[in-house]
A and B are shown apart, each in its own frame.
Chain A
Amino acid sequence: MTKIIEPSKQSSIFRRPSSETGIWSWITTVDHKRIGIMYGYAAFFFLLIGGLEALILRIQLSQPDNNFLTAAEYNAMFTMHGTTMIFLAIMPISAAFFNYLLPLQIGARDVAFPRLNALSFWIFIFGGAFLYSTFIFGTAGAPEGGYLAEEVGWLGSAPNGGWFGYQPNAGMKYSPGTAMDYWAIGLQILGIASLISAFNFITTIINMRTEGMRFMRMPVFTWMTFAVSFLLAFSLPIIAIALFYVTFDRKFGTTFFLTEGGGDPILWQHLFWLFGHPEVYILILPAFGIVSEVLPTFSRKPLFGYAAIVFAGFGIAFIGFGVWAHHMFASAISPVAQAGFGLSTMVIAVPTGVKIFNWLGTIWGGKLKLNTPMLFSLGFIGMFVIGGLSGVTHSIVPADTQQTDTYYVVAHFHYVLFGGALFGIFSGLYYWFPKVWGKMYNESLGKIHFWLMMIGFNLTFGPMHWLGLQGQVRRTWVYAEETNLQFWNIIVTVGAFIIALSIIVFMINWIFSKRNGEKAPFDPWDARTLEWAIPSPTPVWNFSTAPIVKSLDDFWHTKYSEDEEGRAVRREEADQILLELEEDGLNPSEHIALPNPSYFPIVLASGLPFLGYAVIYKSIPLALIGTVLLLIGGFGWGTEPLEEEIHIDSDE
């Protein structure tokens, strides 16, 4: 087999990028797999930063009346921890999975718009860098007229109004300086990235499915990608508008949320949570998808109630738009609204319960292979159930007025987003490790990672339940010794460091296995979905011939039939089929045209932070630089054909 890649001479007004390896090949790539890998690494980097911020918070809280951090630093740290974990870690790590797997699972060569995909990634990178540049350029201080005993310092010069940015506290009068502007505009930029990929994935799923891949034959992970993309498409515009309002309030003297100008601070809460609650499902549904792939594979059984799981996912996504005010039960809303949103919140427990029971139905009667991805998926069910049940206690409005704004809520959503989303993500990282790198991870280290994380996680977030119920309030820099909360706070801090240790084990495993791991066999898990019907690591062209799908879990059915009892029986020809698939997968017989790499996504994306700085510093020159970069990117992009010249041929 040979690969011929001819750099084109002068395809548009600029020269085409031509590197195949090295840093430029990554910067200009439009390959969904490479973009997925970059998304993954970048998101993991931010996960580490967010984790570091969490450890700093926990050191401060390990003692009552501690002064490890100043109030300004503490507030900046919890704001950045939340913002980072949600927008820069969990969301993009889900995007990494979507990017890498979605085309593979539906039998496509790439997403519908490969260059938009690259654009989305680079906007995410520039948005994250922009947000974090606040530590260098940002300023924060006491509210207008207030006094500080010491300088804020660089650690405190980050956004400090909370990831939820409640107004008017996050407004200019009470949060002076530029830090909160970095937050508002940073999220705005990140939102653009997510919107772009949402539309890209929706289009891909609707249009790029291979022959026979009907909707009801799609893997559940693809279904959840579909649901999440719709959630993004409908919820992000709301926060975009709200963030524009905030930016205008802060920079240009409008009063959308300021009482003195006739505005309403509660309006911000409605807008924020109308986005913010669907956002929760944006974070958790990908993990639902991953778990729904891992459990059947390692139980050697089909997913129990496939249709129910799919519809439950969409049910959750849909109802998710009707529960936002449950974040505001103690806020200025009427008892009628409290009752309505309390009931709608209870309703959402029903489809969630359906999913859990169907997962249990999947493993029941199976032949469970308890390797690392499976352990994380099982752990996911166990931990998510706890988060789900504490969630139901929030829908009991009167009880919620005791729980809200306490560590009970912190415990709840970490059980959902860490015990849920992140456990699912780790399950997926181990499950698809052989797919991406063509090597096997180290099973023992994987199990050590799982158990350390399981113990650390429960030590960290379990005690927060009763800490909250017994009076520890969220976002508090210090707590009084007389509150008697010290003992469990020490346990929580110890737990947090155990989590950190488990992450180190994970990183060692990843780095070591990627270099020296055993070569992964073809179809290492005896899996069910299309991405395993091609060689690992995935060839650049994904599928050498477009697969034809005849049923749900088509790949499994090419390997297995059922006997009279309904038990799986491996077909005699299965091994032969796998050999042929591997052989074919590596040697495409037809000419394959792939989209060319392009400079323009990164050029276009690089304009956005300049526009952001221009708004913060009201600078015309910066605005001009940003606009010029956008124009160059857009013009070059528009005049450059998507694919040409580069093709991969079989033997010449």
Chain B
Amino acid sequence: MITLYTISTLSLIVVDNINMLVKNIFKLKNLRFLALVFLSACIENAPLDSLSPEGPYARSIDELFWLTFWIAVVIFLIVQGALLLSVFVFKEKPDSPEPKQIHGNTKLEILWTVIPVIILAVIAVPTVRTIFDLANEPKDALKIEVIGHQWWFEYKYPDYDITTANVLVIPADRPVRLEMWSNDVLHNYWVPKLNGKRYLVPGQTTYLNLHADSPDEFWAQCGEYCGLSHSKMRGRVLSLSENDFEAWVKNQQQNANKLEGNSLAAEGQQVYLNAGCTQCHVIDGVWDVQGDRIAPNLTHFANRNVFAGAALYNNRENLSKWLANPAEIKPGTFMPNLELTEAEINALIAYLGTLK
């Protein structure tokens, strides 16, 4: 036990030094060029970039990745260097003598068995430590339930009695504990800038922590192949300042108002109530679905900047495309083509716009 402790402490020291070393290498001007070449391949402004962490969890993963990456680069250079060197030096020339028939070298072979073992041991210690750090439930975390559906994510806030979809709203600079399961097939929840992935499994609960440094918007994407529209199972995570978050919660707890009169929006409410939408979609205060709630809750639809599994931005053009034939946009979707007329679609869009 003591030896194990010593080894792990030593490894940690080594790891910290390597980290320092790597950071110093980056600072050296003449090597900056090398780093630039590497990074020039990288894409600017990729919203799903796992290499630009914006929270402590993602950052601890990122550090671990770069540590391994630089070690791998060194090994890569050694091996490819040795390979190319051998090819250039020992390439057959007219006057090359017959080579010495060497069958092996025990010392060398032991050396190149032991060195990788040591390198891996060095990587293993922070790896195991981070595995457990990431799995721990953080103190005073906000609990949110994430339910996977083909092909959208549903979010429930048991503390606040809120149900929403597609956009996960979290407080900034406070850890969030996601309790996740799936309603149908396997899904995989991924907000690359905040943490790694975790599966959503039917019949089991899995957990994932998120923590955003500051108020911002992040992209989410389902990682696990989950059928026809897997690629369109996306999401947004919105981290809000404390005040904004409280305001958001208050607003979400309000029911929608039943519209009266002859406005276009009120017509749209009639379409919602009569065309078949009420089979699946809840609007609190207007209609409650009997049986399985297999579609997003629309009570605060206009409050979300994306819809249809975050595959579309919430605007007029997209809504009319979607309502005309949902399967055109998300193949396999459970939302039928209700054969709505253009007038009905316009009315519905007007109504949905009131659901703030």
Residues of A within 8 A of B (CB): 70-72, 75, 142-143, 145-149, 162, 166, 168-169, 174-175, 259, 264-266, 299-308, 330-332, 334-335, 338-339, 342-343, 346-347, 349-350, 353-354, 356-358, 360-361, 363-370, 378, 381-382, 385-386, 389-390, 392-393, 395-406, 463, 466-467, 469-480, 482-485, 487-488, 562, 565-569
Contacts and interface: CB of A to CB of B under 8 A. Distances in A.
Interface stretch (B73-81, B266-274, B281-289): B73-81
B27 interface: no
A304 B61 contact: no
B144 to A, nearest CB: 18
B258 to A, nearest CB: 30
B303 interface: no
A614 B83 CA distance: 54
20 contacts: A72-B331, A75-B225, A143-B184, A148-B228, A302-B102, A305-B104, A308-B109, A330-B198, A335-B135, A346-B120, A363-B87, A370-B87, A397-B127, A397-B130, A405-B223, A406-B50, A466-B41, A478-B232, A484-B44, A568-B98
A472 B112 CA distance: 36
A389 B43 contact: no
Contacts of B223: 330, 404-406, 473-474
B161 interface: no
B306 to A, nearest CB: 11
Contacts of B204: 266, 332
Contact of A398 (B98, B127, B335): B127
Nearest to B52: A470
Contact of B49 (A265, A398, A403, A470): A470
Interface in B135-179: 135, 150
B154 to A, nearest CB: 17
Contacts of A405: 188, 190, 197, 223-225
Interface stretch (B3-11, B16-24, B322-330): B322-330
Interface in B317-339: 325-328, 331-337
Given A349-B116, A470-B50, A71 B228 contact: yes
B92 A385 contact: no
B29 interface: no
B146 to A, nearest CB: 14
B238 interface: no
A635 to B, nearest CB: 45
A576 B336 CA distance: 83
Given A169-B185, A169-B225, 5 more contacts: A330-B223, A342-B128, A361-B102, A381-B79, A402-B61
B150 A146 contact: yes
Contacts of A166: 185-186, 224-225
Contacts of B333: 146-147
B72 to A, nearest CB: 4
Contacts of B109: 305, 308, 354, 357-358
Interface string B205-243: 010000000000001011111111111101000000000
A159 to B, nearest CB: 13
B101 A476 contact: no
Contacts of A566: 100-102
Given A169-B185, A308-B104, A484 B46 contact: yes
Given A306-B103, A369-B92, A370-B92, A354 B112 contact: yes
B80 A401 contact: no
A174 B185 contact: yes
B131 A567 contact: no
> Nearest 9 pairs between A and B by C-beta?
A471-B48, A401-B196, A476-B231, A259-B203, A405-B223, A169-B185, A305-B104, A475-B225, A335-B135
Contacts of A484: 43-47
B99 A365 contact: yes
Interface of B: 41-51, 58, 60-61, 64-65, 68-69, 72, 75-76, 79-80, 82-83, 86-87, 90-92, 96-105, 108-109, 112-113, 116-117, 120, 123-124, 127-128, 130-132, 134-135, 150, 184-186, 188, 190, 192, 195-199, 201-204, 206, 219, 221-232, 234, 311, 325-328, 331-337
B331 A350 contact: no
Q: Which of B80, B98, B202, B224 has the most CB of A within 10 A?
A: B98
A472 to B, nearest CB: 8
Contacts of A338: 131, 135
Contact of A346 (B108, B123, B225): B123
A265 B188 CA distance: 14
A361 B61 CA distance: 36
Q: Which of A303, A330, A404 has the most CB of B within 10 A?
A: A330
Given A146-B150, A332-B201, A402 B196 contact: yes
A263 to B, nearest CB: 9
B108 A70 contact: no
Contact of B334 (A145, A389, A393): A145
A369 B60 CA distance: 48
Nearest to B135: A335
A474 B225 contact: yes
Q: Which of A303, A386, A473, A476 has the most CB of B within 10 A?
A: A473
Contacts of B325: 149
A148 B331 contact: yes
B100 A567 contact: yes
